[in-house]
Amino acid sequence: MPSIICPLCRLALQRDEKAWHCENRHSFDVAREGYVNLLPVQYKNSRDPGDDAQMVQARRDFLQAGHYQPLRDAVLRMLAPLHAQSLLDIGCGEGWYTGAFTPIAADVTGLDIARPAIRLAAKRYPDITWLVGSGALLPIADASIDIVSNMFTQLHVAEMQRVLKAHGHVLVVTPAPDHLWSIRERLFDDVRAHDPDKFLADFESGFELQSRQIVRFALNLDQAGLRQLLQMTPYAWKARPDRRAALSVQARFETEAAFSLLLFRCRNGATAQDSCRSFESALRAQG
């Protein structure tokens, strides 16, 4: 089981049924649903960071309906041959993808900054370790994870490298250039292609790109599915309300989902000095 560490002093956390605590007597309660909040208030940038309850529920309903099942299947096919012992899913949301990782890794941990998402995940998948925490300052010990999964969330490459074992892997899933193009055409005057390569330079120094795949499939959405999709994406606040409303009343809508899957392999384990610098940099970034 990967070592969970105190977000305040970085010592290992001992797990009891009702609370986790370190030798410095920092204590973190286990919520009724089974998750643990390891995001101290001084590390928050807002009162309730991350997706709100409505976005989380929309995503849960949309994913449970199976609309993105081809993507989840492709992710599992890519990761299963790695025979991982431990997997950390950063930005796990309400856990639909994370819950599918248990057959391919013995110890699975899901982490998200949004407490509503983790609460929902913990209720549905009780056999996974669920943490409220920040990807910029992971409450995970150095060199303790085989695979880090990062799907549709901000990349903190130095932190991912720190927690990975030597030659561990990072999976990045991001929209392909033409993802949901027909929907975006209806919502925005200027539609620009996504750029899945924009972060590759961040991985160059410590990782090699081991494999790459584009996954695309048709979506034939009824009105409920379309509304859920609009609510769970950044379109919920980026699009003009009148355009979003006009689109959401359609009885059916056809579009295409397209994703870029990139699997990176860590060249070397992070040194203790690298880890210290990463931690100090993250602390300064948190203010």
- Cα–Cα dist 147/233, whole Å: 26
pLDDT exceeds cutoff 60 at 281: no
Instruction: Report the Cα 229 to chain-centroid distance in Å.
Output: 17
Consult the annotation and say whether 125 binds a ligand.
no
pLDDT (tens digit per residue) in 232-252: 988 777 888 899 889 989 899
Position 46 scores a pLDDT of 57
Beta strands in 5-91 (DSSP E): 14-15, 19-21, 27-29, 36-37, 84-90
Consult the annotation and say whether 276 binds a ligand.
no
Question: 213-246: buried (b, 16+ CB within 10 Å) or exposed (e) per residue?
Answer: eebeeebebeeebbbbbbbbbebbeebeeeebee
Position 274 scores a pLDDT of 46
Mean pLDDT of the chain: 89
- Cα–Cα dist 211/287, whole Å: 37
| pLDDT band (50, 70, 90) for residue 113 | very high
Position 285 scores a pLDDT of 41
pLDDT (tens digit per residue) in 22-80: 999 999 999 999 999 999 876 656 566 667 888 999 999 999 999 999 999 999 999 99
Consult the annotation and say whether 92 binds a ligand.
no
Q: Which domains does the chain have, with CATH numbers?
A: 14-286 (3.40.50.150)
Consult the annotation and say whether 206 binds a ligand.
no
pLDDT exceeds cutoff 70 at 90: yes
Position 60 scores a pLDDT of 95
Consult the annotation and say whether 23 binds a ligand.
no
Consult the annotation and say whether 83 binds a ligand.
no
pLDDT exceeds cutoff 60 at 278: no
Read off the pLDDT of each residue in 266-279 and give the average, rounded to a whole number: 50
Position 21 scores a pLDDT of 95
What percent of the chain is modeled with pLDDT above 90?
Answer: 76
Position 52 scores a pLDDT of 85
pLDDT exceeds cutoff 60 at 203: yes
pLDDT (tens digit per residue) in 4-13: 999 999 999 9
